[in-house]
Amino acid sequence: MGTIKLQHINKSFGKTEVLNNLNLEIEDGEFLTLVGPSGCGKSTLLRIIAGLEQQTSGDVFIDDKNVNKTRASERDLAMVFQSYALYPHLTVRRNLETPLRLRDYSSLERFPLLGNLFPNKKNKTKKINDLVQKTSETLKITELLDRKPGQLSGGQRQRAALGRAMVREPVAFLMDEPLSNLDAALRVHMRSELSELHANLKTTFIYVTHDQAEALTMSTRMAVMIDGKLLQLDTPQQVYDNPSSLEVAQFVGSPKINTIKGSANSDGTVKFLSLELQRKSSITNTDIIIGIRPEHLEISKDHSNNSIEGVVSYRENLGSDMFFHIEIAGDNKKLIARGTPQLTSSIVIGSKVFVNRLRGEALLFDQNGSRIKFTSDN
């Protein structure tokens, strides 16, 4: 089992509040990502789970056992750090063996000569060797076992660090931005390897990152944290499609969601700029904020009814996608819209364009950033 429950977790450093009444239940075997901007408290929360940091108040449960007073070494959790934390003077094999030797050998059995006098040491050593071999085969690092960390690439060092955590067969893996030191191509490769590893091990993974791509591609659920608070906990697709607040909508998604001031009239009709939504707001006679993802805006050089006129101020060419930054005519507002390079090759910086229609759902928020439903959602 690898269920972890956090109840009313608060953490302050002096007068600085880092975590505020945070509640979270992590299911056995899931891949949960803690995602949020730098300084939101996600790494502190991970260290509290690990027992490396003490919460100011609140309770941590592992498999329904309160571990507030349990030392980190006794929580049966494995931590994978951003810096790999490998012993530079030991081979990969020895790095993998060390946590098992510390756990399984008695203090006397650890002595090179004296330890051999104990009859059970041979069996323990065989078990350790078997675990190291099994782990190295799973991570495809068998040929690296006799090398030292300085002789490995970044990706190989990361796999070795994962191996040292895996050999312990913990109830859960805690990972604190383990891919942040890798180059972009290697990060993409390691994302797929971690997802495959999780599927094979079926062990609980708790993963901290500020990289939305990592959270969206690897997680079974993602927890969005901002300013020490848990704002939303759901599947990656639900968080992206149905953010609980404007803060979540603005954090998740790249490029950022377009936000436009508008209004809902007496019958709930939503108007913004020169456009009108087909669906009606559940609240009426009020100013609102409309959120539209860049991929949900369609642009062309042709004018049509209710289109928004603008001028392209910047183009982001990402290969398969092209994002256009558009300054709206007569309004101090910019929109970002997505197109394909093939269909928009004639649109350059300075081109007059028209946002003709929405290709997907808009999101509604009140002036405080809380989500507003459409009448058809009720």
Q: In terms of C-beta density within 10 A (0-12 exposed, 13-18 middle, 19 or more buried), how is residue 221 classed?
A: middle
The two three-digit tokens of residue 126, written as one number: 């065989």
Cβ–Cβ < 8 Å for 222, 236: yes
Euclidean distance between CA atoms 180 and 158, whole angstroms: 11
What type of residue is 111? F
pLDDT tens for the chain, 378 residues long, are 689 999 999 999 999 999 999 999 999 999 999 999 999 999 999 999 999 999 999 999 999 999 999 999 899 999 988 777 899 999 999 999 998 888 888 887 777 767 677 778 888 888 989 999 999 988 889 999 999 999 998 888 888 988 988 888 899 999 998 888 778 888 888 888 889 889 988 999 999 998 888 999 999 999 999 999 999 999 999 999 999 999 999 999 989 999 999 999 999 999 888 788 888 999 999 999 999 999 888 888 888 777 888 999 999 888 778 899 999 977 778 999 987 766 677 888 999 988 876 766 799 999 999 999 998 776
Opening angle at CA 163, ends 157 and 166, nearest 5:
150
What are the tens digits of pLDDT across the range 174-226? 999 888 877 888 888 888 888 988 998 899 999 999 888 899 999 999 999 99
The helix or strand, by DSSP H or E, that contains position 157, with its residue range, turns out to be helix 154-166
Domain boundary assignment for the chain: 4-246, 256-377
What topology is assigned to 256-377 in CATH?
A: OB fold (Dihydrolipoamide Acetyltransferase, E2P) (2.40.50)
* Residue-level pLDDT at 349: 92
DSSP letters for 52-72: SS--SEEEEEETTEE-TTS-G
**Architecture category of domain 4-246 in CATH:** 3-Layer(aba) Sandwich (3.40)
Give the up-direction half-sphere exposure of residue 50: CA atoms within 13 A in the CB hemisphere. Answer: 20
Determine the pLDDT at residue 182: 78
Distance CA 205, CA 219 (A): 9
Give the DSSP per-residue string, 124-139. HHHHHHHHHHHHHHHH
DSSP for 294-354, please give it: GGGEEEESS--TT-EEEEEEEEEE-SS-EEEEEEETTSS-EEEEEE-TTTTTT--TT-EEE
What does the alpha-carbon distance between residue 210 and residue 177 come to, in Å, rounded to a whole number? 8
H/E stretch holding 48 reads helix 42-50
CA distances from 42 to 19, 227, 228, 284, 287 (A): 9, 10, 8, 38, 34
**Cβ neighbour number for residue 72 with a 10 Å cutoff:** 14
- Smallest CA-to-CA distance from 228 within 7, 15, 22 is with 22
Comparing CA positions, the residue from 344, 287, 295, 291 lying closest to residue 315 is 344
Token code pair at residue 256: 């950022």
65-66 β-sheet, strand order: 16-26, 4-13, 57-62, 65-66
Identify whether the C-beta of residue 252 lies closer than 8 Å to the C-beta of residue 224.
yes
Look up residue 147 and give its two tokens: 């090398």
